[in-house]
Amino acid sequence: MKVHHLNCISSCPLCGALFDGHPNSLVRRGRLVCHCLLVETPAGLVLVDTGFGLRDVAHPHSRLSRFFLTMLKPEFREEMTAIRQIQRLGFRATDVRHIVMTHLDFDHAGGLDDFPHAVVHMLAAERDYALMQKTWLDRQRFRPQQWSYQERWRMHSVAGGERWKGFGCVSPIPEVNDEIALIPLPGHTYGHAGIAVRGESDWLLLAGDAYFHTHEMDLDPYCTPGLRFYQWMLEKDRAARLDNQRRLRDLCARHKSGLTVFCSHDVDEFERLSGRSAAVPAEHMNAAPQASL
């Protein structure tokens, strides 16, 4: 299956050097991508996460919290939304038949409203907890304003015993049963999942927010102070989050070829896999060969 890498609007956190590690002034804002996948399958297009959407760009203050708008200052550019990049690749919004979600944080789910005809898949625990709006921080990160078409949501249980490379898994789309899988990776949220996709040659695993910095997957892991703080601030289960990072490191060490693991927000990972700057929409891939998967 052909896979396109989309950055669906970057965030620019305060004290940038603490987040991205670039040795500039702390006054400079950093840059975090929102790495989504568009997969061409026999069942139609499958979008993995949505990033920010058109309504977020047009009306950010009615859909997103002041807290995160101030902290992250998303770089709202309509041409970087998933729907506009999909159109620039020559597809229609209605060609997206399925959306598979890592989790429901505002920067992953903002584009759901742009695809009202798509069936949306996630782990049941993610929907159930997000709808509770239990704490102040939950109400800042889980934004029901972004979820207008919940009647097309499909919840998936982790029960059932399927396995993928030593991890539990759920196959959400029957038409591509062995090609796309939800991999439960709780910790960042209770229903957080990675999404495994069989590419043209290798498996890809979008680990979502299970980690934030590419060097967290090194045998001697490293993460910038800002990203360590951000992960701590948002985690729901610290022990589970850290254990899943350890398991992902083990997975990377065991599979030096045939598998690429990457997270949702690391700029270097995105640019390496997409073959282009994170500031450039996917239309520029048309004239260039697909990045090696």
Sheet holding 180-184, edge to edge: 180-184, 193-198, 203-206, 259-262
| Assigned token pair, 269 | 């990972």
Asked if residue 291 is part of any domain, the answer here is no
Give dist(CA 102, CA 209) in Å, integer: 8
The number of distinct structural domains making up the chain is 1
Other Cβ atoms less than 10 A from the Cβ of 135: the count is 9
Provide the CATH number for the domain around residue 56. Answer: 3.60.15.10
Low-confidence ranges of the chain (pLDDT < 50): 285-293
Asked if residue 293 is part of any domain, the answer here is no
| Structural domain range at position 201 | 2-284
Asked if residue 57 is part of any domain, the answer here is yes
The pLDDT score that the predictor gives to residue 24 is 62
| Assigned token pair, 176 | 């591509």
CA angle 154, 163, 189 (to 5 degrees): 50
Asked if residue 210 is part of any domain, the answer here is yes
The pLDDT score that the predictor gives to residue 23 is 62
Asked if residue 292 is part of any domain, the answer here is no
The pLDDT score that the predictor gives to residue 25 is 56
Give dist(CA 164, CA 180) in Å, integer: 10
Residue in this structure with the two tokens 């970057």, named with its chain if needed = 10
The pLDDT score that the predictor gives to residue 259 is 96
Asked if residue 21 is part of any domain, the answer here is yes
What phi, psi does 123 have (nearest 5°)? -70, 140
Give dist(CA 265, CA 200) in Å, integer: 23
The pLDDT score that the predictor gives to residue 289 is 39
Asked if residue 289 is part of any domain, the answer here is no
The pLDDT score that the predictor gives to residue 17 is 73
C-alpha separations of 221 from 88, 134, 175, 267 in Å = 38, 33, 38, 17
The pLDDT score that the predictor gives to residue 287 is 40
Strand partners of residue 61 = none
Give dist(CA 248, CA 245) in Å, integer: 5
pLDDT digits (tens, 9 = 90+) for 27-55: 677 889 999 999 999 889 999 999 999 99
Task: Go through the chain and tell me how many residues it has.
Answer: 293
The pLDDT score that the predictor gives to residue 27 is 62
Give dist(CA 112, CA 107) in Å, integer: 11
Asked if residue 290 is part of any domain, the answer here is no
